[in-house]
Chain A
Amino acid sequence: MKVLVCISNVPDTTTKITFTDNNTQFNTNGVQFILNPYDEIALARAIELTENSGGSVTVINVGEATTEPTIRKALAIGAADAVRINAQPHDAWFVAYQIAQYIKANPFDLILTGRESIDYNGSKVAGMLGELLDIPSVSIIKKLDVDGDKATVEREIEGGKEVLTISFPFVAGATEGVAEPKIPNMRGIMSARTKPLTVVEPVEVKTNAEIISYETPAPRGQVKLVAPDDATKLIDLLHTEARVI
């Protein structure tokens, strides 16, 4: 089975988010970038599946050369090879379009993404890829098992889950439950340096949407403290002042 895992390069989860240029640019100054946590889960499952039933795992990223440490990390974790589409990832549509072009020329049985990227949180790449390739997509899966030419996935729904069977090829976005992220070992880190990383130039595509500025949430006022033995006072405040109960 050939598996493609789409990986994104995102600000570390501890990053304090600030903007520059009159709130139009994300301030990357001093920001550490990491492999998107959900993509780590997708990658871990892809490796487990190919260990069990043969095949190989390729990772793909749409990004400029600065994303290579993240790509090397994915190779160290266990992907066999990597592709980087050499462009700034404007938005999910741009990313999905580039990756779909690559897949049309290089077919895969299974395409995994993360449930969302933790920067722009679109949950869009998986669905767009599915549509561009005219194959099924499941946006958020919490379990993925393969049995011959079919897979069983669990999809998250409000207050429960759905169990689906899907024939290959398809796209799915992984979240917790699919696998435990893998930590690269020494051998993986050494071999990652020599694993193939192909750089592909992007194709042109029109944009339909664009981020024009950012806002940071309004700060909250001073916290009102209530004495621990005065629970009634808190309930009173929530009822009469905050009006939430």
Chain B
Amino acid sequence: MPVLIYTENAEGKFKKSTFEAVSYARAIADQTHTSLIAISIGDVSAEELNALAKYGAEKILNVSNAQLKNFVNQAYASIIAEAAKKQGADIVVLSNSFSGRGLAPRLGVKLDAGVVDGAVSLPDQTGGKFIVKKTAFSGKAFAMVEITSGNKVIALAPNSYKIVEAGKPVQVEEFSVETKASDFKAMLKEIVRSTDKVSLPDAEIVVSGGRGLKGPENWGMIEELADILGAATACSKPVSDAGWRPHSEHVGQTGIAVSPNLYIAIGISGAIQHLAGVSSSKVIVVINKDAEAPFFKVADYGIVGDAFEVVPKLIAAIKEHKTLA
């Protein structure tokens, strides 16, 4: 039975996390020697759709309907479930993005499927089982979840699977569905985007600041550092509680959990609740003036020093590194 991958787009463009999910779904299809069907909903150009072939989708179901240009949680879930049924797909993969978190549980109910949200590895299908690893306890641990139902829904955590180019010939098919009015009770009024910035859950590099930075006026150097690294900015909870930074930047156990390739913590002590949300970062760099700060215990690299002296030097060093590279 084929694997179905829902390929989320933002304003008609597929995102990096979508390509990760396609690569991941391709690998699952390969495990069982089956095919990979993608479903795209919204206003996506033919050129953009064809790009999915590069990551291993063999067939793309394209749902383009004016009513569905923007995300409508219930309607999208109905369409994806219907596509899964029509194509006989027993595994549905999607990205555990904000929208994906809305879709996965509804799909689970519609398809009577076990759901793994925030998967971080390929399923282990040894001995006819189906076991997927996911983060639990806000990044303090991993749980191995066995899906026992025939149908399965897997939402892949961003930044946890490498994009692989598989290059299969692709065929795009228009897929039309009847929508029901009761699926349109939540209507979009407005989208507000802070487009110039890298989004935090998807970012490969995150530059994060804590209370050690003293006040919002000192974030200029944090933003500059993030900017030259192509990074997203983040902060500790007290910083967003104090209104120095928006809540959407707060990482940790009660904020966003991130797993970038590089997490740079500046003036953050490393409280257990903060570490919970960042400990699955591949590489952690800590800059703190207190050598005893707990964050150093979980860091790969560190500088014991005053952020106000160290960060400008780092910025200069990166600029120099870039001109040499």
Contact = CB atoms under 8 A, between A and B. Distances in A.
B313 A231 contact: yes
A76 interface: no
Contact of B192 (A140, A161, A177): A161
B98 A120 contact: no
A167 interface: yes
A193 interface: no
A13 B272 contact: yes
B301 A162 contact: no
28 contacts: A16-B272, A37-B254, A92-B105, A92-B115, A93-B115, A120-B137, A121-B117, A121-B136, A122-B115, A127-B105, A128-B105, A128-B109, A138-B102, A139-B73, A140-B98, A156-B248, A158-B201, A161-B248, A176-B247, A207-B114, A217-B280, A224-B300, A225-B303, A231-B316, A232-B320, A234-B285, A235-B321, A238-B262
Query: Which of A142, A220, A234 lies at the interface centre, i.e. has the most chain B CB atoms within 10 A of its CB?
Result: A234
B32 interface: no
Chain A interface secondary structure, helix, strand, loop or mixed?
A: mixed
A138 B147 contact: no
Nearest to A176: B247
Nearest to A216: B141
A219 B266 CA distance: 21
Given A121-B136, A223-B300, A245-B205, A134 B102 contact: no
Interface in B284-319: 284-286, 296-306, 309-310, 313-314, 316-318
Contacts of B257: 121
A30 interface: no
Chain B interface secondary structure, helix, strand, loop or mixed?
A: mixed
A76 B321 CA distance: 58
A136 B146 contact: no
A226 B141 contact: no
Contact of A127 (B103, B143, B300): B103
Interface of A: 11, 13-17, 19, 37-38, 92-93, 96, 118-128, 130-132, 134-140, 142, 152, 155-167, 170, 175-177, 207-217, 220-221, 223-229, 231-232, 234-239, 242, 244-245
B140 interface: yes
B298 to A, nearest CB: 6
Nearest to B237: A176
A170 B138 CA distance: 27
Given A128-B108, A227-B303, 8 more contacts: A93-B108, A158-B97, A159-B195, A161-B248, A211-B145, A214-B144, A225-B301, A235-B317
B45 interface: no
5 pairs of A and B residues whose beta carbons are closest in the complex: A228-B305, A127-B105, A209-B114, A208-B114, A159-B199
A128 B195 CA distance: 31
A160 B73 contact: no
Given A132-B109, A138-B186, A242-B283, A127 B142 contact: no
A223 B142 contact: no
B282 interface: yes
B272 to A, nearest CB: 6
A146 B102 CA distance: 21
B133 interface: yes
B143 A214 contact: yes
A36 B207 CA distance: 28
A163 B272 contact: no
A213 B300 CA distance: 28
